[in-house]
Amino acid sequence: MVQIKTPEQIAKMREAGLVVAAIHAATREAAVPGTSTRDLDQVARKVIAEAGATSNFLGYGGFPATICTSVNEVVVHGIPDDETVLKDGDVISIDCGAIVDGWHGDAAYTAFVGTGHAPELIELSRVTEESMWAGIAAMRNGNRLVDVSRAIETYIRRQPRPATGKYGIIEDYGGHGIGTEMHMDPHLLNYVSRKRGKGPKLVPGFCLAIEPMVSLGTARTEVLEDQWTVITTDGSWSSHWEHSVALTEDGPLVLTAPDGGRAKLAQLGVTAAPDPLA
């Protein structure tokens, strides 16, 4: 059953989303060679504390940190530690969230550490991010959940193939509803599955965390012995982008983007909803 939010509840989610945006800004600045992933977690903890918010990652199913730090072939759910020290040429995806007055925000981004990254890695991140925005632009009143999945997959499939031969759209993980919990119905695939049907109709108050994960090789993953860290089975590097988005009477509002998604959506011919906190 999909939780439909009121405008007042969406405003609370926007508050949580702005905390997540602040975590992104702070960790992106700190993600430099010589920094450990635990250092990045400490940066995130400070932002959450200063905002008077709560982490929705820490303790979730026993997860021991406030952010996921997924480096290179790690797709999602990497656990911050002292041993993983970023070096020149690494790629890191940071996933994090926050709770304000019981309402959740959740978002992820991919960053390049230092310099010397291969062009196909830079293109991988671009393709993943742009596919996310294609999915966000498909959040329109009257569309179905499958239309978001189709927009994500179509964007990726239409891109020139990388030197590795293909982009792997990760199959085992996807987006989700969000609101009074971080993970709620419906589950959002990043590709179209005939078995899943069209899914629910998108109506005002519908909120989704849209998060494509794409590799430079396989779509298959495995979980390491820590029961959290997810890697590609062929060792190919990956990218992960995510935003929490609310559909309103006036269109989509990107809850975890500082500008509500206005600038990027305008490039796609979509008008973002007014920011309830403006």
- Residues in the annotated binding site for a divalent metal cation: 95, 106, 176, 211, 242
DSSP 62-85: G--SSEEEEETTEEE-PPP-SS-B
Annotated binding site for substrate: 77, 183
Looking up tokens 């060792």 gives 235
The residue assigned the tokens 């690494």 is 90
The token pair at 34 is 């010589």
Q: What angle do CA 21, 123, 182 make, to 5 degrees?
A: 30
**Under 8 Å CB-to-CB from 139, ≥6 apart: which residues?**
148, 202, 206, 208, 210, 245, 247, 252
Residue at token pair 């890695």: 121
Cis omega before residue 186 (within 30°)?
A: yes
Residues flagged as binding site:
77, 95, 106, 176, 183, 211, 242
> Which residues contact residue 194 at a Cβ distance below 8 angstroms, ignoring those fewer than 6 apart?
none
